[in-house]
Amino acid sequence: MRTPRPVGYLRHPGASGLNRIDPIPTDALAERRARFQAQLGDGVALIPGAKRVYRSHDVDYVFRQRSDLLYLTGFDQPEALALFTRDRFVLFVQDRDPKAETWTGRRPGVEGAVRDYGADAAHPIGELAERLPPYLENVPRLYHRFGDDHPFDQIVLKALEQVRSRVRSGITAPEEITSPQTLLYEMRLAKDARELAIMRAAADITREAHHAAARLCREGTWEYEIEAALHQVFRARGGAGPAYPSIVASGANATILHYTENESQLAAGQLVLIDAGVELHGYASDVTRTYPVDGRLEGAARDVYAVVLRAQQDALAAIHSGTSLQAIHDVAARSLVKGLMELGVLGGVPDELFEEQAYQPFYMHTTGHFLGLDVHDVGNYNVGGKPRPLEPGMVFTVEPGLYFSAENEQIPPELRGIGVRIEDDVVITDDGFEVLTAAIPKQIQDIEAWMRA
């Protein structure tokens, strides 16, 4: 019997209890595979999984399956590969091994791969080299991306050589090799109702975690204490843990975009930028809020926060089906230019400052990215040389920010060392858009009240 995976829970405001959120069910995974296989024609696709990675000596990093294999199969064990033809789904997996399982946990084995994961056939992963060549015979196209896993690439190359060596017997090898991601990424880009249910649950867990973190933003608290509070909620509510290394950046640390040391002590008058989201059933939440130490936004910090909040509100107001992430970024950047002028950082003509990207020393990143099974999820941002129009089901972030280096002597002294980012997760709907993380406060008065609650 398949070992149950952890469940997540969605808390409904005003309701008692928690509603269980299950992983993507097997019938939905089978439907995904059918759509993927229908695009293969007479080709064969190889989708490898992740391997265990050593952290130090004989200690592993926590295992996380590659998103493509997870998306198509739900298989969450290491050392696996899925092979697809138009009408066959074959899994290569670790065989059952009682001794190894005593040390590293239960394995589904080849029987479980068929019984629990819907494979038409399954084989031990150690037999891949000998079993792969027949699948490549008289096949015009191979879907495989070279470069991700060198040992596996060598198995594929040897299999191709073996098939080519039989040309005098009338056997042909694939003449075209292309990446399966060309097909998969388009499938993964638009989320269906089940995926969105998980992402809403992830947003709710992240809301609770941010609330726990916000209440700790007091003078004398250490950043790692706040990080621990976030992660405690992530796990207690059924998540796998953080979807990415959590950022808890107080004071000037917030001007480092990917600050993850989380080792400083909070001081009075500082802001704390917290960028943290849970991973639930493989799907990521990605949220940033900026909180004042001891609960009151004042002075220059309040002014900067207000500018970033306005930029995000302007960006959200520009969202609609058919627009693009680039267009949303441009709206946010124009708003930030206006704010930088109000703060005394920039001077000149707003349109010219925007065209010159004069904001970039203080706003270095784009306003959003796709979100899903990966935090920076897959999908082309440009199609036909133009920014991609957003369509229903696409999930992305909206995250303007301003970062003033403590060493920058060209800006007003009161701004130095201040970093602010506000980030929400958004999905395009048939009639507009939904902010999945809207329940996490960001208005100044709401933030201050939330930190006291």
Active-site amino acid positions:
58, 258, 275, 286, 365, 369, 376, 399, 403, 421, 423
Length of the chain counted residue by residue: 453
Q: How many CB atoms lie within 10 A of CB 196?
A: 17
CB within 8 A of 336, min separation 6: which ones? 307, 308, 311, 359, 362, 363, 400, 402
CA gap 311, 190 in Å, rounded: 26
The tally of CA atoms less than 13 A away on the side-chain side of residue 165 is 8
* Tokens, residue 115: 């019984």
- Which residue type sits at 433? F
Q: Please check whether residue 374 is in contact with residue 284, taking contact to mean a CB–CB distance below 8 angstroms.
A: yes
Beta-strand relationship, 432-435 and 424-429: antiparallel
Match 């997540």 to its residue by tokens: 8
**DSSP sequence for 17-78:** S-EEEPPPPHHHHHHHHHHHHHTTTT-EEEEE-----EEETTEEPPP---HHHHHHH----S
Short-list 333, 357, 42, 76, CA closest to 175: 42
Short-list 442, 450, 449, CA closest to 423: 442
* First-to-final CA distance of the chain: 45
Q: Please check whether residue 234 is in contact with residue 170, taking contact to mean a CB–CB distance below 8 angstroms.
A: no
CA gap 396, 368 in Å, rounded: 6
**Dihedrals φ, ψ of 178, to 5°?**
-140, 160
Short-list 284, 278, 342, CA closest to 310: 342
CA gap 391, 325 in Å, rounded: 11
CA dihedral 241, 394, 214, 250 (to 10 degrees): 90
Could you tell me which residues are beta bridge partners of residue 429? 432
**DSSP sequence for 321-336:** TT--HHHHHHHHHHHH
Short-list 309, 229, 289, 298, CA closest to 270: 298
DSSP 394: B
